[in-house]
Structure formats: structure tokens, C-alpha cells
Amino acid sequence: MYKHLLIIAFLLAKTVTVHAQYTVKLIVNKVATKPNDAIYVSGNFNNWNPKDEQYRLKPFGGGRQGIVLKNLAPGNYAFKFTRGSFDKVECLADGRDRGDRVLMVNTDIDTSFSIEGWKDDYPDKPKPYTASPQVSIIDTAFFMPQLNTKRRVWLYLPKNYYQSTQTYPVLYMQDGQNLFNEQTAFAGEWGIDECLDTLAQQLNKYCIVVGIDNGGDKRLNEYSPYTIAAGKVGKDSVKAAGVAYVDFIVHTLKPYIDNHYRTKKGPHYTYIAGSSMGAIISYFAAWQHPDVFGAAGIFSPSFWLYSPEQLQPKVSANFKPVYYFYAGGKESTNMLNDMDTVINYLNVYPSHTIRRSVYPPGMHQEKYWRNEFPIFYKWLMQLY
């Protein structure tokens, strides 16, 4: 009987540990400038929303401001303070960008911070134009009839494009601003053009890349195939426009690219990729249109925004998923578990090609996706 009680006590203790939830108190003791402005905390716990009213700091007495984050699961949390947008994000005292603040949560935490400066306090230094000669802009206002809006679309052509008559596979990528040019990138470019120039010499394989700018304040809508429930990334729900966005790529943009450039047309030679919410829409597009996209690169997907039912592919039993999944070990607490759950959904199909890549020090940042992209590309080029 005593032994049985010990076993029960052990199991109960284990259950409590598995489902442990913690409280984190963040206090800002000092703000270098603009101390009367509203301050928000933006991090991997609210999809980096810079003006989420649920994460607005409140007066804590003595001129301090703070917020209490409740019911946090154990794990690493990255965040920054903003004044409502990322052009008003905190920075170092000399105006340099500061890295993400990171807390490892495995107990209740009460911690304080000083904000040394705000990015808008310092005149912007012109960013360099870094796109290679292989990169051009198809149109600064390419019409998207499915969304009744316009968008800049980028194009990378291999170095040998105009010296040959061969045809090329095509990779469609989200967040075009961040792919080729430091001047337009939000937090550093991926360096896709330089990467592909180098790998072309190593692999003797070539690929066209089409980059589609995100829609700014419509990015969440356009990259979401389902409405995001209120409270996930703000007090209001986010209306889905992802189906229309994918229809634009499939029915408008891809036909244009195929008609104007020497492309290989079949799904074996047409790919899609993106990061964060761009990964979500890429994941969705690849199983929604398996006759169009033969492979997908899924970098740090925001699967936590959706229910398991929404993430399960709704396709026939002969679906042949080809997916590359990447995540950093220091991203949101559920990132790896959510990614593995989706991978398990895909593994049930008899014919599948799944690559799972995890970089333990990796965070939810462009530089880590830039570092992972060559590995993804080599994997992709070896498939076909």
C-alpha cells in the first residue's frame, strides 16, 4: 500500500511539473527619453506585435511602469520594449540596435530594466543597397486581383540566365523586402542572391527566386489561411486573407513568371518558402495546391496561432508531402512541440520527404534564417 502511495505521489508531482505555469513581472525603472509615452512589450509570446494593448505597461508607482505576464509555460522568452511600432523600438544609449532581451522561465520571475534610448531618437543612417545585379524588380505595384491591391515583386535570375537557353526551377518566397537588399530589409536581409551565386558554382544547379513583399499592416491577414482568434495577437481577431493570397501566387503571379521567363513548369520544379507567418502560408499553400508546389521551406512557423484541426492537411491519401522544417532552440516555448506535431501529421502519408532541422542557439530572427537557407537550398536541389 505504501509503495502504491509513493507511485501515485510521484505521478502527481510529475503532472504538476509538466503543466507548470509561471508568473513573470517586468518592471521598467528608468526610461532615458519620452518617459510619458505608452510603452509596450513585444515578444515571441504575442507574435512580436509592437502595439498589443494587452501588453501595454501600467504605472507601478515611483515613476515606474510594468506588466505581469501570467500562466507562462517553462521555456525561453525573447522580447523588446517599444512605443507602439518597431521604428520606435528601444535601442542602446548610442543609438545602436540592441539584441532581444531573453528570459529563461522555469520559476516565477520579478525583474527590472532600464531603457537606454529609442530608435527614433537617432537620425537614420542610410542603409546600403546590397542587391546583386542578378536581382531586379518586376513591378513596384504588381496588381493582385484576388486581394484588390498592389505589391512590389522581386526577381532573382541566375548568373548564366542570359548566356544560356536552359529552363529553371522557381522558388516563391514571402517577405520579399528581406530577401535581397539591406536597404529594404526590416532586420537584416537573407542574402539570397549572394547565397545562390555561390552555391551555383558548388552544385552546378540554378534556380529563379521570386520574392513577394509583405503587405505591411496586412501581413498577418494575408499570411493567415484561417481567422486568428481574438486575444492571440491582440484584443481583436485577425481576419484571414491567406486563401486569396495563395490564389494570387497560383493563378496570377506564377502564370506571369512562366510566360515571361524560361521556367520548368511542373510541381517538381516549383517551390515555396517563408519564415514565421510566411512559413504558415507556405505550409498551407503546399498542401492546398500539391499540383503546383512540389516542396516547401518552413522556417520558424507560427503554428501556435492555430488549432490542431486547422493544421492537419486536408488532402487525399496519395498526397506526397515534401517539407523542410527549421526552428531555433531559443524561440517560443511551444515552437518545437508544435513543429513536431505537424511533422507527425505529414509522416502518416506513405510517400513523404521530411527534413527537420533545429539550431539550439537559434532565435526568431532574420540572421538565423539567413544561416539556415543554404542548408535548405542544398537539400532542395538534391531532390530533383
Digit-by-digit pLDDT tens for the chain (384 residues) are: 444 544 444 444 444 444 578 999 999 999 999 999 999 999 888 888 899 999 999 998 888 999 999 988 887 888 999 999 988 999 998 888 888 898 888 899 999 999 999 989 887 777 888 999 999 999 999 999 999 999 999 999 999 999 999 999 999 999 999 999 999 998 889 999 999 999 998 999 999 999 999 999 899 999 999 999 988 887 788 999 999 999 999 999 999 999 999 999 999 999 999 999 999 999 999 999 999 999 999 999 999 999 999 999 988 888 999 999 999 998 887 899 999 999 999 999 999 999 999 999 998 889 999 999 999 999 999 987
Whole-number pLDDT of residue 47: 82
Please state the φ and ψ torsions of residue 308, each to the nearest 5 degrees: -55, -40
Residue with cell 504575442: 46
Task: For CATH 3.40.50.1820, list the domain ranges present in the chain.
Answer: 135-383
Would you say domain 19-121 falls under CATH 2.60.40.10? Answer: yes
The H-assigned helical ranges of the chain are: 2-18, 192-203, 219-222, 242-248, 254-260, 277-288, 308-311, 335-347, 366-383
Share of the chain above pLDDT 70, in %: 95
Domain 135-383: CATH class, spelled out: alpha beta
Using DSSP's 3-state secondary structure scheme, residue 92 falls into coil
Residues 6+ apart with CB under 8 A from 152: 137, 139, 140, 141, 142, 176, 177, 213
pTM of the model as a whole = 0.79
Task: For CATH 2.60.40.10, list the domain ranges present in the chain.
Answer: 19-121
Burial of 280 (0-12, 13-18, 19+ CB in 10 A): buried
DSSP state of 247: H
CB 294 within 8 A of CB 269: yes
